[in-house]
Amino acid sequence: MKISLTKERLFLLLFALLLGYQMFISPNVGLADNGDFARIIDKVGILANDTKEYLGNINLEFPISFHYNIKGYQSSELIFVLTSILINSVISKDGQFHLLTLGAVHLVALLAGLAVVAYGIAGTTKRVKWVILGCLLVFFTDVGYVAYLNSIYSEPASLIFLAFTLGIVLIIANRINSQPVGFGWVLFYFVTAFLFVIAKPQNAAMGIPLAFLGYLLVKRSSPPRIFEKRPAYLAWTLSVGLAVVSFLFFAFGLPRYYRSGDLWNSIFLEIVGNSENPQQDLAELGLPPEMIIYKGKYAFSEGVDRNIYESFQHSWLYFKIFKFYLVHPNRLFSLMDSTTSSAFELQPPNLGNFVSSETFGSYDKSQAFNIWSRLRVAILPHSIWTLVGLLVINLAAVWIKIKKFDHQKNDKLISLLHITIVVMAILQYLTVLMAEGTFELVKHMFLFNVLLDVTFIFLVAYVAGVSGVLFRRISAKPQVN
């Protein structure tokens, strides 16, 4: 089947123009450093000079003395950072590292991921295709997402490799009815899923549903000759391997200094900070009772020295936190309910978008291309029942699709992909709340909101597909004179 990609090319061009306008036309839009840039820049020799801005404004230029430290924070974002450093070393006239170079690398990579998605939906009906492309254009050109591309955070890697992973599944679904699925596509899926998982430690839990989806993809593919007689071994090896890497990355992916900060905030701002019996909570977590003095204090407060407490140097404390919430589900429910007031926002309130100037002061936000940001906050009620309702709607839509409309292999694979995204969104939401607490919640909920918007696209595409079927049925009925 020959597929015309003219519409997809037009979509990618328009997407590039809208992002390019925001990122590269003055005043440039980016996202200010909350201190997390150090996780990346310390590994590669990008320096923070005396004039560097934090929180309120962005910086477009950094001194650089390149080196690579293999230890410390690990992230697939380093692929883009190292690429941009190489390009910058050729084109920089003043020897400084220019953030816009990294922004350009992010943009090209994101466009490549979206091109894979566009190719994956090229075989759908015209109505569904236009709806999906339109939603992608409206949702992901929003400044709440675009600002991250001009930053040295790890969120761009999460977005980019998620796009590649979803696009590959869509391509497999597009081919699965008419021809055997080449193992190369499945292997490509595992590579991009792996890079997505290691973008940030908070992505690690999502490796489990991605591993399960990968297992099913391997079972439906044409394995290499060496595994033709035992394809199940290959499926188990790849899927279990991804799941194990996800677990190890969650447990050990963060250096102790950063890990202890997340643990501290989760415990002393949330569990102990909101407790009626903090001494008992400390005991359940295996922490000394004298730490009650830190109730309500975040990790970087004056007088807090996390390094003197051995418990905060080990990742097993995460699992004690998870156990605590399992034993006290009411506390988790209360935490979830209290966070919905800001969980659906896309622009972090404590981080500015512009370089400091006479026009833009500290913490100023871009007002361009923020329609979707404002619409989400306006239409999504700030209640735990919003999350429950969205979950029910998505599961009901998938159930109806499976029962009434899934007649071929590709239909079933799309339903499975939708369920995978829903499970990933749930895991991401719970991981952020339990492992990191509500500190800088909007930024930490970046990927949850990306996944939530992907579920919206699934739902709108279903409506478009069903309406097209109904329209064709009505048109096909003989007219009665």
The confidence score (pLDDT) of residue 304 equals 80
pLDDT at 476: 62
Which pLDDT score, from 0 to 100, does residue 340 have? 84
**Positions in the chain whose pLDDT score sits under 70:** 1-5, 49-53, 223-231, 310-313, 468-473, 475-481
pLDDT of residue 164: 98
Q: What is the pLDDT of residue 187?
A: 92
What is the reported pLDDT for 57? Answer: 92
pLDDT score, position 1: 45
For the chain, what is the HEC assignment? CCCCCHHHHHHHHHHHHHHHHHHHCCCCCCCCCCCCHHHHHHHHCECCCCCCCCCCCCCCEECECCCCCCCCCCCCHHHHHHHHHHHHHHHCCCCCEEHHHHHHHHHHHHHHHHHHHHHHCCCCCHHHHHHHHHHHHHHHCCHHHHHHHHCCCCHHHHHHHHHHHHHHHHHHHHHCCCCCEEHHHHHHHHHHHHHHHCCCHHHHHHHHHHHHHHHHHHHCEECCHHHCCCHHHHHHHHHHHHHHHHHHHHHHCCCHHHHHHHHHHHHHHHHCCCCCCHHHHHHHCCCCHHHHHHCCCCCCCCCCCHHHCHHHHCCHHHHHHHHHHHHCHHHHHHHHHHHCCCCCCCCCCCCCCCCCCCCCCCCCCCCCCCHHHHHHHHHCCCCHHHHHHHHHHHHHHHHHHHHHCCCCHHHHHHHHHHHHHHHHHHHHHHHHHHHHCCCCHHHHCHHHHHHHHHHHHHHHHHHHHHHHHHHHHHHHCCCCC
pLDDT of residue 470: 67
Judge if pTM exceeds 0.85: yes
Q: What are the sequence ranges of the domains in the chain?
A: 1-152+345-379, 256-314
